[in-house]
Amino acid sequence: MKPFKFMLGFSLLCLTTMALAQHEMQTSAAQPQSDAEKSFTQLKSLAGKWKGTVTVEPPQPQIKNGELGQITLRVTSRGNALVHEMNDPTKPDDPTKYDHPVTMFYVENDHLTLVHYCDAGNRPRMVARTSQDGKTVEFDFLDVSGSTEYGHMHHAVFTTIDANHHIEDWTYMMPGDKPVHAHMDVTRVQ
């Protein structure tokens, strides 16, 4: 009886997967991509490992201008999400002790959305707008969950120069709504 149950379950899983794939092919073939989907496709093309310099304005004691930053972007969840991770390559890979924010991108209700899981202990959510040429995706603050006692990420801009070079501009709002701008000019490592 067990082999029958296994084969039945396996067959149902295969049929479900095939039906989902067929539905996705029919849906994508029938509808043109929205601006949100085009922007998401553009960002997904940045999947890989990146390194470059970080410049912060106004200067902050914990970050030296010109320091090296590392970014990893990875497509996940059957192409429905993009994971963005930032870290300092000179520090041990221990997110419990060192900054290691994670940002998730996804399309929801025809909007490209990001949620930034911040080292400050909150989760700001932003919604994208795309430039006319499609190379710049700008994210505007929507709301935040969690405490903003130490500030929160408020704005982000991704500019694609080419397949191996992009720029990220992030704005962090310190307590008292004082903006700090971080500019990262990165090139593809992998």
* pLDDT, tens only, 35-73: 999 999 999 999 999 999 999 999 988 778 888 899 999
If one counts every other C-beta atom within 10 angstroms of the C-beta of residue 32, the result is 7
What parts of the chain have a pLDDT lower than 70?
A: 1-30, 92, 94-98
**Could you read off the pLDDT of 129-140 as tens digits, one per residue?**
988 888 999 999
Peptide bond into 58 cis (omega under 30): yes
What confidence score (pLDDT) does residue 46 get? 98
Domain ranges of the chain: 1-31, 33-188
Question: Domain 33-188 belongs to what topology?
Answer: Lipocalin (2.40.128)
Nearest of 115, 85, 119 to residue 99 by alpha carbon: 119
